[in-house]
Structure 1
Amino acid sequence: MPSPQRITVSCHCGAARQDVQTSALDVSLCHCSTCRHTTGLLCTSYLSLPCSNMSLYFCAVCGCHTFRSQFNTSIPGSYADLAGLDWQVATGVITDSSDDGFSLGLGGHLRVEETQDGGLANWISTEARHGDQDSTPISSPNHDLLPASCQCGNVNFFVTRPNADSALPHSGFSDLIIPFHTGSPDIPNPNDVKWWLRENNKYLAGTCACQSCRLVSGFEIQTWAFVPRCNIFFRTKTDSSVGDQAESSGRGQPAVIPLDFNQLLDGVLQSYESSEGVLREFCPGCGATIFWHDKWRPDLIDVSVGLLRAPEGARADTWLEWCAHRVSFDEDAETGRSGWAKTWARGLIDRLASGVKEAHTPQV
């Protein structure tokens, strides 16, 4: 057993920055429904522990998941004694770690069966896999509405299929399509290509490894779907503050409201400005990442895929076309990190990039 490793952890805003010790030898990727719906991501990376009797901790300022704790039921009386708590740290918040030869392993995939379609597990190779997906994914009975919600239910919305209004926004290309580091003159999208709209009535989706997404979510792999604001509708309670846009059967009953960040009731979304003009929303109840948007393209929203409740599976393949040629900001996977955490992150993103390409390469 190697000696405990001292690490520095931090969320994006720095409010949760501290030094801790860990004796972990490897980290597994959990794909369970609870992890997906409490984070908005398709998987999380904590130590390999069951999901019952667990508490989650996230930064109240930026929404970053930092720690989780669980009572160790093997210790008598652990429920009444804090000494009986097992603590785990989210891997994405590890910024500084030693460079003394220690190597953190990638253990395997957990709770894959809850994804229905394999989720990200199909794209990240590991030696171990616990629980396989259903070999016959369920098809969606409603092809027009895609429900989405966080774990605590405070955030509840749905997405509609692309329509004529979906082509109205203008947006520069995502880094997913044209890497920003290239400085390409095509990035501003001078020809007004509607790149977020795909064939078969789908939206573009992809993975992101940028430093900001990592430190705001707490994990290395963010998954976004690019959806016009006009195709996002919230289910909320009617109130005089939501104006005339609400459609409801009566006061106090659930209402359907087109997404307008200035019209939602207080307490539905917590907003965090991760850089000038760039806003990220998360649930103030469970910390799930909900949206990314900015002032330059206010009518095209990045939606966290882990919130989507497509019956066919976590990837919502009947709604989304996944970008196969690139992990967005792949080159940033190691940014702001040192030691074995940096090496582990690079290896994880390399596996993801390779797996996505392989999965979408036509078989000859």
Structure 2
Amino acid sequence: MTAFEFSKKITQYNCRTCGAFVIQSSKLADDEDADPKVHWDVMTGTLAEVDGAIELRGHIYLQDTKDGGFADWLTTWRGKDLRRWSLYDDRDVMTPAGWRDESSRPIHVKPGDKLHAYCKCGGVQFWIRRAAKSSNNGEPRPQPSMSGEMCSPALAAWLRADSGKYLACNCSCNSCRLATGKEVTQWAYVRTEDIFQDEAGLIPFAVKFGSLKTYQSSPNVTRSFCSVCGAATFFSAAEREGVVDVAVGLLASPDGARAESWLEWRLERLGFRGDTVGRSESIALAIEHGFDQFQKRSTQH
């Protein structure tokens, strides 16, 4: 595994082959302590079984999301409300459902907008051009239910929503889970022609740039991740030439972690929902219930 110093107190360990975040150590004392106690955290996505092995308590560091992030989709589990801590150290500070940070500002959409994306260490960074509303041309779009769904370039119209936003989904397939260490991975479908290595849009997308490393998780499927901090970055399939899935966690949208001014989320279901059966179905059910409740709340505003 590759060690990455996430902060002065936290060290993360990632698989050097596929980039999966596996485990992390956290110092429970100040750096001056000659023999600090260490707490170990395991990424649940690496576990063979989850139901019956873990208990969900809540979400931490919601303050960093600006809009509540994934916590607004996973609000309850097995009949109990999950707690929502603004930070981690101050457990008395709770963040209500529907909360938005004061710094989260409305985005005025402009055709020439570009969205900055980068990993924790900064070794991978790129810019995404806003989707053109006219690129759909009225063609029907298939329902993208999973990150690995294969489509031909002729069906690429569904990559762009009528609103000028990119489609995004939550994937629970075993392949994404094992390659990231996460129970659910968030992907946005973006054409490579709209991805640039510089803000000016002069350097086009490339399979490898910066600290990117690639891993072939299955035939004709390539995943990219930062070789330094392990951040998942891209998913690409040979059958979808010119299109990649971009890891949503890299997007630095001013309106928050869900980047709703840039993305149109498909919340009908989890992608590859069947892979959760017999392993983490209680979490999948809770998330899909959260999707339903979130959409109902959204229609009321």
Residues 334 and 346 in structure 1, CA contact (< 8 A), matched pair in contact too:
yes
TM-score if structure 1 supplies the norm length?
A: 0.67
TM-score if structure 2 supplies the norm length?
A: 0.80
Once residues 192 and 151 of structure 2 are traced to their aligned partners in structure 1, the CA distance between those partners, rounded to angstroms, is 20
Equivalent residue number for residue 89 of structure 2: none
Q: CA 1:317–1:89 in 2, change beyond 3 Å: closer, same or farther?
A: same
Once residues 363 and 179 of structure 1 are traced to their aligned partners in structure 2, the CA distance between those partners, rounded to angstroms, is 33
Residues 207 and 327 in structure 1, CA contact (< 8 A), matched pair in contact too:
yes
Pairing partner for 1:231 from 194, 206, 213: 194
Q: CA 1:156–1:289 in 2, change beyond 3 Å: closer, same or farther?
A: same
Structure 1: give runs of 5+ residues left out of the alignment. Answer: 1-14, 17-37, 39-50, 181-186, 237-246, 248-254, 336-341
Once residues 277 and 119 of structure 2 are traced to their aligned partners in structure 1, the CA distance between those partners, rounded to angstroms, is 29
Pairing partner for 1:259 from 205, 212, 215: 205
Equivalent residue number for residue 91 of structure 2: none
Residues 133 and 162 in structure 2, CA contact (< 8 A), matched pair in contact too:
no
Letter in 2 for 1:301: V
Letter in 2 for 1:220: E
Equivalent residue number for residue 161 of structure 2: 198
SS at match of 2:127: strand
Deviation at 1:334, TM superposition (A): 3.9
Structure 2: give runs of 5+ residues left out of the alignment. Answer: 87-94
Equivalent residue number for residue 65 of structure 1: 21
Pairing partner for 2:256 from 302, 313, 316: 313
Q: Is residue 284 of structure 2 the alignment partner of residue 352 of structure 1? A: no
Residues 12 and 24 in structure 2, CA contact (< 8 A), matched pair in contact too:
yes
Runs of 4+ that moved beyond 3 A: 77-81, 140-143, 163-168, 172-175, 177-180, 187-193, 361-364
SS at match of 1:215: helix
Letter in 2 for 1:275: S
Residues 116 and 252 in structure 2, CA contact (< 8 A), matched pair in contact too:
yes
Please give the per-residue CA displacement for 1:109-143, whole angstroms capped at 9, x wherever unaligned.
11112111111111111421112243553134774
Once residues 204 and 153 of structure 2 are traced to their aligned partners in structure 1, the CA distance between those partners, rounded to angstroms, is 29
Residues 166 and 190 in structure 2, CA contact (< 8 A), matched pair in contact too:
yes
- Bigger Rg over Cα: 1
For residues 234-313 of structure 1, what are the structure 2 equivalents within 5 Å?
234-235=197-198, 256-261=202-207, 264-265=208-209, 268-313=211-256
RMSD: 3.3
Equivalent residue number for residue 107 of structure 1: 57
Once residues 228 and 166 of structure 1 are traced to their aligned partners in structure 2, the CA distance between those partners, rounded to angstroms, is 11
Deviation at 1:86, TM superposition (A): 1.4
Deviation at 1:163, TM superposition (A): 3.4
Letter in 2 for 1:139: P
Residues 70 and 86 in structure 1, CA contact (< 8 A), matched pair in contact too:
yes
Residues 116 and 128 in structure 2, CA contact (< 8 A), matched pair in contact too:
yes
Q: CA 1:161–1:124 in 2, change beyond 3 Å: closer, same or farther?
A: same
Q: Is residue 100 of structure 2 the alignment partner of residue 134 of structure 1? A: yes
Residues 45 and 178 in structure 2, CA contact (< 8 A), matched pair in contact too:
yes
Once residues 250 and 282 of structure 2 are traced to their aligned partners in structure 1, the CA distance between those partners, rounded to angstroms, is 26
Letter in 2 for 1:260: A
Residues 72 and 78 in structure 1, CA contact (< 8 A), matched pair in contact too:
no
Residues 223 and 233 in structure 2, CA contact (< 8 A), matched pair in contact too:
yes
Q: Is residue 29 of structure 2 the alignment partner of residue 86 of structure 1? A: no
Residues 233 and 256 in structure 1, CA contact (< 8 A), matched pair in contact too:
yes
Once residues 190 and 138 of structure 1 are traced to their aligned partners in structure 2, the CA distance between those partners, rounded to angstroms, is 35
Residues 72 and 84 in structure 1, CA contact (< 8 A), matched pair in contact too:
yes
Deviation at 1:179, TM superposition (A): 11
Pairing partner for 1:146 from 103, 112, 115: 115
Deviation at 1:72, TM superposition (A): 2.0
Residues 236 and 244 in structure 2, CA contact (< 8 A), matched pair in contact too:
yes
Equivalent residue number for residue 322 of structure 1: 265
For residues 154-193 of structure 1, what are the structure 2 equivalents within 5 Å?
154-163=123-132, 173=142, 175-176=144-145, 192=155
Letter in 1 for 2:85: H
Deviation at 1:333, TM superposition (A): 1.6
Residues 269 and 288 in structure 2, CA contact (< 8 A), matched pair in contact too:
yes
Q: Is residue 78 of structure 2 the alignment partner of residue 125 of structure 1? A: no
Once residues 134 and 122 of structure 1 are traced to their aligned partners in structure 2, the CA distance between those partners, rounded to angstroms, is 11
Letter in 1 for 2:73: W
Once residues 125 and 268 of structure 2 are traced to their aligned partners in structure 1, the CA distance between those partners, rounded to angstroms, is 32
Letter in 1 for 2:24: R
